[in-house]
Amino acid sequence: MGNKVPDIKLIYNILLKKYGYQGWWPLTELSFENPDTKGYHINDYSFPKTELQRFEIGIGAILTQNTSWKQVEIAIENLMKLELIDPKKLLNANENIVKKAIKPAGYFNQKYKKLIIFSRFFIDNDKLLMKLKKKYENSNDLKTIDKMRQMLLELWGIGKETADSILLYAYSIPIFVIDAYTKRIFKRLGFEFNEYDDLQEIFHKTLSRDFKVYQEYHALLVEHAKQHCKTKPLCNKCPLIQFCKFKSN
C-alpha cells in the first residue's frame, strides 16, 4: 500500500462485518436476568434505561482505568452482590468493604476516592445531565456536549477518556472515546496525530454525530485489539492487514 490511510468509514464496515454488533456497555443487571447475554444488549440502544444503570456505567468507566475489563467485571459483580451499585448506598458503605470489593480492578485506594467523588456528583447532577442530553437532542448544539464534558472533567480522577466513556455510554451523547486500543490501531494504520483531541477530531469530522455508530465503532476497536492488534500483533487473518503499516513479516 502507498502512504494513503484507509477511510474511517471503511474500517468500521470491515470490523463490523468481521466481529458483528457488540452491544456495549455491558450491564450486570442484564447478565443476572439472562446469563447468556453476559450483560451485553446487541442492537438495543435503549440502554441504559434507569438511573442506577447510568451509575453502573459511570463507576465502570472509572474502575477500568489502567486495568482490563475482565478485572472490572469482577469488581462490579462484587459491588452488585453487596447492593452497592447505588450512589447513596456506596457513600454510606464501610470504606474497607468497598475497597475489598473493587480490589480486583487495581489501585483500589485511588479508585475508592474517585468512586466517592463521582457518587456525590451523580446524586447532584444526573438529572441536570439528562436535561442537557435532551437539550442537545433537540438542538444539536455541540456547546451542550462541551458543557456536559466539562462538568465531568472538573472531577478529581476523571480525564478525557473516562468523561467521554460516561457521556457516550451512560448518556448516549455522540462523543468518540479515544482509548489506548484506538491509538494503537490507528497509528499502525498510518494516521498522524499527537494528542487525544487530534484523533478524536478525525472521527468527529469524518463520521456523522450518531451515538449508536460511535458506541459500536469503539467497541469494535476494543474487540479488534483483543483479537489481533495486541502490543505484539497477531497479523494472521487480521481483517485490516491490507492497510497496516506495522504488519509483521
Number of domains making up the chain: 2
C-alpha–C-alpha distance, residues 198 and 135, integer Å: 27
Count of beta carbons in the 10 Å neighbourhood of residue 99: 14
Q: Is 86 contained in some domain? A: yes
CB 75 within 8 A of CB 104: yes
pLDDT of residue 2: 42
CATH number at residue 60: 1.10.340.30
pTM for this model (two decimals)? 0.95
C-alpha–C-alpha distance, residues 53 and 51, integer Å: 5
Of the candidates 10, 16, 13, 47, the residue with the CA atom closest to the CA atom of residue 220: 16
pLDDT of residue 79: 97
Q: How many residues does the chain have?
A: 249
Instruction: Copy the grid coordinates of residue 159.
Output: 480525564
Q: Which residues contact 46 (CB under 8 A, 6 or more apart)?
A: none
C-alpha–C-alpha distance, residues 140 and 148, integer Å: 13
Residue 98 and residue 13 share a domain: no
Give me the average pLDDT of each 10-residue run along the chain (249 residues).
Answer: 76 98 93 87 96 98 95 96 97 98 98 98 98 97 98 98 98 97 96 96 96 98 96 94 82
**What is the domain extent for residue 82?**
46-171
3-state secondary structure of 190: coil
CB 175 within 8 A of CB 164: yes
Domain end among 154, 171, 188: 171
40-52 pLDDT, tens digit per residue, is: 999 999 999 999 9
Helix (H) or strand (E) holding 141: none
Rounded to the nearest angstrom, the gap between the alpha carbon of residue 185 and the centroid of all alpha carbons in its chain is 16
pLDDT of residue 1: 40
To 10 degrees, what angle do helices 180-188 and 196-206 make? 70
Residue 208 and residue 128 share a domain: no
CATH number at residue 195: 1.10.1670.10
Domain end among 147, 171, 195: 171
Count of beta carbons in the 10 Å neighbourhood of residue 185: 22
Residue 101 and residue 2 share a domain: no
pLDDT of residue 198: 96
C-alpha–C-alpha distance, residues 239 and 19, integer Å: 10
